[in-house]
Structure 1
Amino acid sequence: MATLVISENVTLDGVVEDPTGERGFAHGGWFEEYMAADRGAWAGVEFAEAQAASALLLGRTSDAYFGERWNDASGEWPDRLNSLPKYVVSSTITEPVWRNSTVLRGDVVEEVTRLKTQVVEGEIVVYASRRLVQTLMEQGLVDEVRLVVFPVVLGSGERLFGGAHGKMPLRLLASRGVGQGFVHLTYEVLPAAGADPARGTAR
């Protein structure tokens, strides 16, 4: 069975909204603002993760965002990302933007369970896609959470796990500094009461 990994850039208070400042959020642009000299160290973490991944899983908006930026890029990292099989969860599109992608139009739980158990081996990595992440966590399909924590508290904005239903027990697997200002955290998602082993770890 594949391992489903959530991989996100977040602020210290868990905000993931508008990191590049393109959506009009009052505190948008925090990604670039706090990247500074740590860009190379951060990119190294992301590239290593891409090399280890077997597939990517995205929501519709994230597919468009990444596809527009990576489709025409070249180099080791873009080449790796562009070559990976990608699965886009959407009921409204028929053609994804990012190359080498397949649209998943059915029930999210059924489609992702099928990916994990029948289609993909290794790691399926989810980038951005906040609403999809929340659904996957609530449905017990996530095995691991990896966070690059940016050194800023915004105080408002959409949070990665904002609105989550119920407890989600985690176990810290690794913690390390990245560059001068970031922390990379890796958590295993533990089974919760009522977990369904056929789906994943926690419900």
Structure 2
Amino acid sequence: MAKIVISENVSLDGVVEDPTGEEGFVHGGWFEQYMGNDRGAWAGVEYQEALGADALLLGRRSDEYFGTRWNAAKGEWPDRLNSLPKYVVSSTLVAPVWRNGVVLHGDAVAEVSKLKEEVQGEIVVYASRQLVRTLLEHDLVDELRLVVFPVILGSGERLFGETSKKTSLHLRDTRAVGEGLSILRYTVIR
């Protein structure tokens, strides 16, 4: 059975909206603004995570975003990401943008539950905040990996929205990434 891992870049107050500043959010662009000199350390963490992944799970918008940026990229990290199988949850998408993708049509919870049974190893979810919320709400998440950026944005879409229940977590690891970022790893307690 696969393990679903949520991997997100977040502000200290949990905002994930418009990290690159391309969506017009008033506080957009926080990813670059607060990356500082930590890009190499951050990229190292992300590359190691990609090496440990067996598949990626994305929403439609995240597939489009990553696919347009990574499909043509070259190097060890892009080659690893591009080679991974990708599963895109969408009710409207016909064909994924990011190579090696398959669209999961229909009920997202049923499709991801089935995927967890069929795939072995780690299925990593990047971005895809609506999908993340759905997966958490239906007890499909096994681990959270949050790279926390040193900024409180005060507004914007947060990773965690309102849910019908609590989700208990166990802190597995916390460490600095470079000089200003930190990574928090939690497992979901069932």
The alignment partner of 1:37 has SS state of coil
Q: For residue 177 of structure 2, what is the aligned residue in structure 1?
A: 178
Aligned partners of 1:142, 1:155: CA distance in 2, in Å? 27
* Count of aligned pairs: 190
**2:164 partner SS:** coil
> Which consecutive residues of structure 1, in runs of 5 or more, have no partner in the other structure?
192-203
Is 2:152 aligned against 1:153?
Answer: yes
Query: In 1, Cα distance between the equivalents of 2:180 and 2:65?
Result: 26
Deviations 1:128-168 (A, max 9, x none): 00000000000000000000000000000000002233211
Structure 1 consecutive aligned stretches of length 4 or more whose deviation exceeds 6 Å: none
Q: 2:105 & 2:153 partners in 1: Cα distance? A: 35
Structure 2, unaligned stretches of length 5 or more? none
Q: How does 1:19-168 map to 2 (within 5 A)?
A: 19-118=19-118, 120-168=119-167
Identity, % of aligned positions: 70
The residue matched to 1:115 in structure 2 has which SS?
Answer: helix
In structure 1, how many angstroms separate the alpha carbons of the residues matched to 2:11 and 2:160? 12
The Cα RMSD (Å) is: 0.6
Contact 2:36 2:180 in 1 (8 A): no
Secondary structure of the structure 2 residue equivalent to 1:164: coil
For the residue of structure 2 that corresponds to 1:36, the secondary structure is coil
Amino acid at match of 1:135: T
Q: Secondary structure at the match of 1:111?
A: helix
For residues 60 and 186 of structure 1, the distance between their equivalents in structure 2, rounded to whole angstroms, comes to 26
Give, as a single letter, the amino acid of the residue that structure 2 aligns with 1:166.
K
Distance of 1:128 and 1:179 partners within structure 2:
22
For 2:94, what is the secondary structure of its paired residue? coil
TM-score under structure 2 normalisation? Answer: 0.99
- Structure-2 separation of matches of 1:23 and 1:178: 27
CA distance in 1, matches of 2:7, 2:42: 13
Distance (whole Å) between structure 2 residues aligned to residue 68 and residue 165 of structure 1: 35
Q: How far apart are residue 36 of structure 1 and its match?
A: 1.7
Letter in 1 for 2:55: A
- Residues 84-103 of structure 1 show CA distances to partners (whole Å, capped at 9, x for unaligned) of 00000001011110000000
CA distance in 2, matches of 1:162, 1:23: 20
- Look up the match of 2:9: 9
Counterparts of 2:76 and 2:103, CA distance in 1 = 26
